[in-house]
Amino acid sequence: MPPRRGTIDLRTVDFKELSKTLKRALGLVLKNYKIQCIIVVICILGQAACTLTGTFFLRSLIDDYILPLTKSANPDFSPLLMALLRMAAIYAIGIVFSFSFNIIMAYVTQGSMRNIRDEIFAHMETLPIKYFDTHAHGDIMSVYTNDVDTLRQLISQSIPQLISSSVTIILTLTSMIILDLPLTILTLLMIGVMVYVSSRIMTRSAVYFGKQQAMLGKVNGYIEEMMEGQKVVKVFCHEEKNLEGFRELNEDLHEAMEKANTFSNITMPVNANIGNISYVLCAIIGAFLVLSGFSSLTLGTLVSFMNLNRNATQPISQISMQVNSVVMAMAGANRVFKLMDEVSEVDNGYVTLVNANIDESGNITEAEHRTGVWAWKHPHKAEGTITYKKLEGDVVFDDVDFGYVPEKMVLHNIKLYATPGQKIAFVGSTGAGKTTITNLINRFYDIDDGKIRYDGININKIKKDDLRHSLGMVLQDTHLFSGTVMDNIRYGKLDATDEECIAAAKLANAHGFIKRLPEGYNTYLTGDGANLSQGQRQLISIARAAVADPPVLILDEATSSIDTRTEKLVQDGMDSLMKGRTTFVIAHRLSTVKNSDCIMVMENGRIIERGTHDELIEAEGRYYELYTGHKAKA
Amino acid sequence: MEIIKTLVKQVKQYKKVTIITPIFTALEVLMEITIPFIMAEIIDKGIQSGNMGQVVFYGSLMLGAAFLSLFFGVMAGKFAASASTGFAANVRDAIFENVQTFSFSNIDKFSTAGLVTRMTTDITNVQMAFQMCLRIVVRAPLMMICSVVMCILISPSLSMIFFVAMIFLGISLSIIISKATKIFNAVFEKYDALNESVQENVSGIRVVKAYVREKYETSKFHKASDNIYKMFVKAEKILAFNNPVMMLAVYGSMLSLSWLGAKNIVLGDLTTGELTSMFSYVMSILMSLMMVSMIFVMMSMSVASMRRITEVINEKPDIHSPENPVMEVKDGQIDFDHVDFAYKHGSGELVLKDIDLHIKSGETIGVIGGTGSGKSSLVNLISRLYDVDKGSVRVGGVNVKDYDMELLRNEVAVVLQKNVLFSGTILDNLRWGKEDATLEECQKACEAAGASEFIAKFPDGYNTWIEQGGTNVSGGQKQRLCIARALLKHPKILILDDSTSAVDTATDARIRKALKEYIPGTTKIIIAQRVNSVMDADRIVVLDEGRVNGFDTHENLLENNAIYAEIYEAQTSGGGDFDEGGED
């Protein structure tokens, strides 16, 4: 979507808020480009001064230089030549100012854009998962695509133009006041009329632009839905009705657009002609004043005044246009700042993960290099000592309660124990809380009550980065990134060699199909691996987890249908990945469930049954019901 | 040229305003040229000579001109708005209408996102360009011509200055613009890539966080963003020459005009008043030149949009109803006679090879096979969603190409694999199947599709509002609603393309049983990944790499067909699904 064009109802704008936002936006620019900004302002002033000098010179040219020439019998062109050379010098300075302004602005604008983009991205990466849950992805994206762009226009166009227009107006008005006060007041009165009329037009226009935006949203929604479902539309022969519905919306949109555009199109001619009327009134009243002798005004000054009057109109209508775009840019800036002001994920953890060596007697020492053995480094502030604990993958939930929002708990009294190497399966209906449990282990969300311990350490004490490093995750939605297959596997461990990545792919059963891709491991993936099948994407995401080699795994098995053969590959890949690791698996497959050390049957945020497959079948409860499809006895 | 032709056709009922707009613009321009004249007269004849009568006379003349100019300007603005928005509405309508005629293979060609962009951003671009054209295309050349003519009338020799300036400006501007647009085009591509990486991070944030890759992603982003910064600066530095070049042309003309003008005045070839007029013409000539260059930039930017739009408008649907269609489907008998099929006709790889299948009316047929074995392609040929390359498909003994398409698709109901519910109530969605279906009919269909239980649990029952894309119901619920919607058609043939994959085994079985009672005479084709879902069909088709590998009953296939036996073995001995049952 292009940045929204249109106007804003000036009456509804909170100017205090606006100036605060504007200050902050300018602050972002000034932070890195203070000197450049000063030079830019000097350039603007210089250029305005040069242009004005030029205008005055042209006016004096005829009277002061050319007319004397015609009167003398033997004309001396040298004063004229000197004057022209002087002007050429002033023009040249003006050109230099203009050029420097444009060059510096290129750096200031684009540099600020880069800094703002970098800043919001870096900040976005620190935000908690909750933020992404509660904000539409389209809205987040539009901060990058639309809102940052409105800021660019603000910096590169609106503000410089506002400055130069203001300078012109101030200079013109000052000259006017010096020439004649009553006529200045008349001119100001007409300017007042102009501002009033154009703000009225803008307000009307804003109403229709608002309507246009709303209709545009509706039409886009309709188009999106119908294009997405076009095949279904075909199958049900719904084309005619569809078109009918579209035409209705399209007509409404057209109407709103036409009105909105009409109002914005007529702003210019209206302003220009109010300017013309102002000119006529000035001439008539001025001439009357001069001729009737009511004023000390001379005809000569009146002529000069008339010229100034002509010049005053243009910057006014420019300013009114720029004010409008500043207000709109501020709306965009507000959204940018809102993202920047979101609170980052809090991390008070101090237990870190280190490479370790263990000697025969079980003493753990910290190692500089990767040893394959990991330990938790636990500093104790009170005693000033540091203890080490081997990373094993022992996870305990002790009476955990959790809710995404405080009013509604989704997990109640969750208790579970996973000893190293165990496989824990979660089964139950959608919304029972299976995924939520796994998201608590890696602290995507923080629990409300109870405790989660990892190797005996409360996970709140572990630094989030280190905690997550120790956990591998394979999600149902694979989320591959733009890059080669190799890049995507290496995502699990950035310093992995090609050999390590290939070994991981072999472990995950992905090697076979990757080799058959047109460019093997160097095949470039885009759009979440759109050129691969669902099963292949899963195999790569398993390889990605494998290369990270974490002691604890969180798996979310895919429900979507993969054909039996690929499914077998995925299954085997997951099985070999799970070997020897503590695994939490949200299970959909019989084999996974059957092989688990413990099955948790969840319903409505509670664990209602737990045990091995055989035990649960024996019990003939909910699990039995799910497994056999028969109703449970009790 | 082809592109422009296609788009111009869409002007349609707005032809009149499209033509009127430039006329009013021209009148407005005439006023704009006249007014400075009158202004000069007020000064020269009125004020400078102290003649109040002349001031009032020319003043009222100018007032009249101003009101005329206001009127013309407002009308031009109004008509331009009407023409451009009307044109945009027509283009939007044309795209939408044409998409409605698309066959499946036409739809496959364009992505949903691509179609949406065309109907939104692209149309907005074209609309702006259209309006710009209407308003500037007349204004700029007219201004220029008038000014040039006036200049030549005043002094042919002095006009040479303008020609030199114009040539200088024209050449410099076109070099600057062509150089800059090249970089801009490259940088926009990079920009898209940057936005895509943001998108990936937003939607894949869990993976980023799970692997603690925040810093890695941030530095990756910084690098890309810095790269774009450098390219943008490079392009803008070229554009920075724009203003100075313009100023050089204007100031250069002014100065040489002053010098040469002064000489001519002294010689008596020129009056001072004429020199003043020449000054203002310099400005308007060079300004209109700038405007023309702006049009070119606008046009070249919207060319890509125009091309994308015409692509869709000119896309010809490749499946039509025949001229004298058969208007009745006798029964649900289906015959495939040695059918070959490829998604890209002629050149593409064959997806189905030599399919020869004969299905009796009322039979229940299972279809099983791996991904890419051609299951969906096979059934999509029955309701003529695609056309075959070789051989023929017959329904009720008649070639599908001879039927009226709407009739055929109403008699052959397909529940697509990638199915969609639309925003509206459950009842609204069900009535897609039969427009005037009563609540009772809908309830019956839902009963058969196993949907009535969970609908009853919704507080609003059948009036529950379904969000766009059906995001507020679970996958299994969605599938069952889609089945019910198809059932309401009371078709002669019902095709379920993997339509119960998200439903638990028990419910799946219940649905199949209910279907038998609800539409006993209907031929049913069930595609599934689970052997369970097809086991009790009358016969089962085993597809493998586009060929029929076996077509028989469950028992016989188990004995004779290796592929079928393998799938069965894999799924029943612990590799099967443990589905999330009890969704409702």
Say which DSSP state A458 is in.
E
Cβ neighbours of residue B438 under 8 Å, at least 6 residues apart? none
Strands A395-402 and A449-454: antiparallel
Residues B31-41 have pLDDT tens digits of: 887 887 787 78
Q: DSSP secondary structure string, A147-167?
A: IHHHHHHIIIIIHHHHHHHHH
Structure confidence at residue A571 (pLDDT): 79
- The reported pLDDT for the residue numbered B348 is 66
- Closest-CA residue to A405 (of A370, A376, A448, A435): A448
Decide if B242 and A99 are in contact by the 8 Å CB cutoff. Answer: no
> Across the interface, which of B195, B276, B581 has its CB nearest the CB of A429?
B581
Provide the residue type at A447 as one letter: I
Residue of A nearest to B432 (CA): A236
pLDDT digits (tens, 9 = 90+) for A466-505: 999 888 888 877 788 888 999 999 998 888 999 999 999 9
Q: Nearest CA to B511 among B490, B541, B480? A: B480
Structure tokens that stand for A581 in this block: 């690791």
* Torsion from C-alpha of B196, B198, B204, B206, nearest 10 degrees: 170
Decide if A62 and B69 are in contact by the 8 Å CB cutoff.
no
- pLDDT, averaged across chain B: 85
Query: By C-alpha distance, which of A405, A420, A474, A436 is closest to A607?
Result: A436
Quick one: which H or E segment has residue A358? strand A352-358
Q: What are phi and psi of B393, to 5 degrees?
A: -115, 130
Q: Do B580 and A236 touch (CB under 8 A)?
A: no
Cβ pair B582:A626 closer than 8 A? yes
Q: Cβ contact (<8 Å) for B52 and A625? A: no
In total, chain A counts a number of residues equal to 634
CA A232 to chain centre: 34
**Among all chains, which residue has been given the structure tokens 């009672």?**
B517
Name, in order, each residue with C-beta under 8 angstroms of A492's C-beta and a sequence gap of 6 or more: A472, A504, A543, A544, A545, A546, A547, A548, B211
**How many angstroms separate the CA atoms of A317 and A276, rounded?**
13
Whether pLDDT at A561 is above 60: no
Determine the angle formed by the axes of helices B505-518 and B475-487, rounding to 10 degrees: 10
H helical segments located in B500-574: 505-518, 531-534, 554-560, 562-570
A468, B205: Cβ pair inside 8 Å?
no
Q: Least CB-CB distance to A588: which of B112, B216, B580?
A: B580
Instruction: Answer whether A261 sits within 8 Å of B272, measured CB to CB.
Output: no
| Strand A385-390, strand A411-418: pairing | unpaired
- Bridge partners (DSSP) of residue A375 are A354, A390
φ, ψ (nearest 5 deg) of residue A398: -120, 100
Structure tokens at A95: 């050109």
Q: Nearest-CA neighbor of B129 among B95, B178, B91? A: B91
d(CA B321, CA B403): 7
What is residue A382's three-state secondary structure?
coil
Query: Could B240 and A106 be called an inter-chain contact, meaning their C-beta atoms sit closer than 8 Å?
Result: yes
Selected residue of B207, B241, B272, B498 to mutate for chain A interface (largest A Cβ count, 10 A): B207
Provide the token pair at B216: 């890695």
Burial of B411 by CB count in 10 Å (0-12 exposed, 13-18 middle, 19+ buried)?
buried
Quick check: helix, strand or coil at residue A472? strand
Of A243, A571, A627, nearest to B100 by CB-CB distance is A243
Pick the range with the lowest mean pLDDT from A64-68, A619-623, B343-347, B377-381. B343-347
Whether B496 and B415 have beta carbons less than 8 Å apart is answered as yes
pLDDT, one tens digit per residue, over B153-169 is 888 888 888 888 888 88
Give the closest residue to B361 by CA, choosing from B485, B486, B520, B496. Answer: B520
Q: Which residues from chain A sit within 8 angstroms of residue B119, using beta carbons? A: 220, 223
Residue A559's identity, in one-letter code, is T
Say if the Cβ atoms of B259 and A103 lie within 8 Å. no
Full strand arrangement of the beta sheet holding B352-359: B352-359, B334-341, B390-395, B398-399
Mind telling me how many Å the CA of B346 is from chain A's nearest CA? Answer: 23
Number of A/B CB contacts below 8 angstroms equals 430
This prediction has a pTM of 0.76
Give φ, ψ of B341 to 5 degrees: -150, 135
What three-state secondary structure class fits A280?
A: helix
Say whether pLDDT at A5 is over 60: no
Residues of A in contact with B131 (CB under 8 A): 261
Contact A250 B89 (CB under 8 A): yes
**Residue B47, amino acid:** I
CA angle (B412 as vertex; B406, B415 as ends), nearest 5: 110
Question: B407: buried, middle or exposed (CB in 10 Å: 19+, 13-18, 0-12)?
Answer: middle
Catalogue the E-assigned strands of A547-633.
552-556, 582-586, 598-603, 606-611
Residues of A in contact with B67 (CB under 8 A): 273
For residue A506, give how far its alpha carbon lies from the nearest alpha carbon of chain B (Å): 21
Cα B385 from Cα A171, distance rounded (Å):
72
User: Residue A268: which residues within 8 A CB-CB, separation 6 or more?
Assistant: A317, B73, B77
The CB density around residue B288, as the number of other CB atoms within 10 Å, is: 22
Instruction: Give the mutation candidate from A51, A74, A84, A261 for the B interface (greatest B CB count, under 10 A).
Output: A261
CB-count exposure of residue A190 (10 Å: 0-12, 13-18, 19+): buried
> What's residue A563's pLDDT?
65
Q: Which pLDDT does position A472 carry in this prediction?
A: 87
Residue A634 has pLDDT above 60, yes or no: no
Helices B272-313 and B156-203: angle between axes, nearest 10 degrees: 40
Residues of chain A contacting residue B225, judged by C-beta atoms under 8 Å apart: 114, 117-118, 121
Q: How far apart are CA A520 and CA A513, in angstroms?
A: 8
- Measured between CA atoms, the residue of chain A closest to residue B531 is A564
| Residue from the list B100, B410, B577 with its beta carbon closest to the beta carbon of A590 | B577
Write down the pLDDT at residue A116: 92
Instruction: Using alpha carbons, select from B537, B561, B536, B565 the residue that is nearest to residue B549.
Output: B561
Inter-chain CB proximity A236 and B239 less than 8 Å: no
**Contact (CB<8Å) A277/B63:** yes
CB B374 within 8 A of CB B541: no
How many residues appear in chain B? Answer: 584
Task: Give the whole-angstrom CA distance, residue B525 versus residue B541.
Answer: 10
Distance of CA B575 to the CA centre of its chain: 43
| Record: contact A559-B119, CB cut-off 8 A | no
- pLDDT of A7 above 50: no
pLDDT at residue number A91: 92
Q: Which residues of A touch B410 (CB under 8 A)?
A: 237
Query: Would you state the structure tokens that stand for residue B52, as one six-digit string?
Result: 């109040």
Interface test mutation site (partner B, options A53, A155, A219, A235, max chain B beta carbons within 10 A): A235
pLDDT score of A502: 93
pLDDT band at A220 (very low <50, low <70, confident <90, very high): confident
| pLDDT, tens digit (0-9, with 9 covering 90-100), for A272-330 | 888 888 888 888 888 888 878 777 777 777 777 877 787 777 788 778 777 777 877 88
Per-residue confidence (pLDDT) for residue A53, from 0 to 100? 82
d(CA B406, CA B392): 19
ipTM > 0.85, yes or no: no
Contact B67 A221 (CB under 8 A): no
Nearest-angstrom CA–CA distance, A483 and A480: 9
| pLDDT, position A6 | 44
DSSP annotation of B467 reads P
* Residue B347: per-residue pLDDT: 63
Token digits for B234? 């490079």
Q: Give the integer Cα–Cα distance in Å for B533 and A132.
A: 38
Residue owning tokens 């050390």? A597
> Which of B93, B100, B383 has its CB closest to that of A250?
B93
Calculate the alpha carbon distances from A67 to A60, A531, B259 in Å: 10, 79, 13
Q: What is the dihedral of CA A493, A496, A502, A506, to 10 degrees?
A: -40
Residues of chain A found within 8 Å of residue B199, distances taken between Cβ atoms:
137, 141
Count of CB atoms situated within 10 Å of the CB of A235? 26
Two structure tokens written together for A281: 């009134």
DSSP 3-state assignment of B222? Answer: helix
For residue B219, the chain A residue with the least C-alpha distance is A122
Q: Measure Cα distances from A103 to A43, B170, B235, B242, B391 in Å.
A: 11, 22, 11, 11, 68
Query: pLDDT-based confidence at A11, cuts 50/70/90?
Result: low
Give B99's contacts in chain A (Cβ within 8 Å).
Answer: 227, 230
Q: Do the Cβ atoms of B469 and A225 come within 8 Å?
A: yes
Average pLDDT taken over every residue of chain A: 84
With a cut of 70, list the residues of chain B below it in pLDDT. Answer: 346-348, 371-372, 572-584
**What's the Cα-to-Cα distance from A275 to each of A190, A195, B348, rounded to whole Å?**
8, 11, 68
B468-505 pLDDT tens trace: 777 778 778 888 999 999 999 899 999 998 888 777 77
d(CA A566, CA A539): 9
Nearest-neighbour CA in chain A from B358: distance (Å): 23
* Residue A590 to residue B575, Cβ atoms within 8 A: yes
Side-chain half-sphere CA neighbours of B525 within 13 A: 31
* Residue A387 Cα, gap to closest chain B Cα (Å): 25
Q: B-chain residues within 8 Å CB-CB of A221?
A: 468
Beta-carbon contacts of A136 under 8 Å, excluding residues fewer than 6 positions away, are none
Q: Report the DSSP pairing between strands B364-368 and B523-527.
A: parallel
Whole-number Å distance between alpha carbons of A17 and A28: 17
Dist. CA A167–CA A160, nearest whole Å: 11
Instruction: Please answer yes or no on whether B580 and A228 come within 8 Å at the CB atom.
Output: no
Query: Cβ separation of A77 and B262 shorter than 8 Å?
Result: yes
Residues of A in contact with B56 (CB under 8 A): 284
Q: What is the pLDDT of residue A158?
A: 86
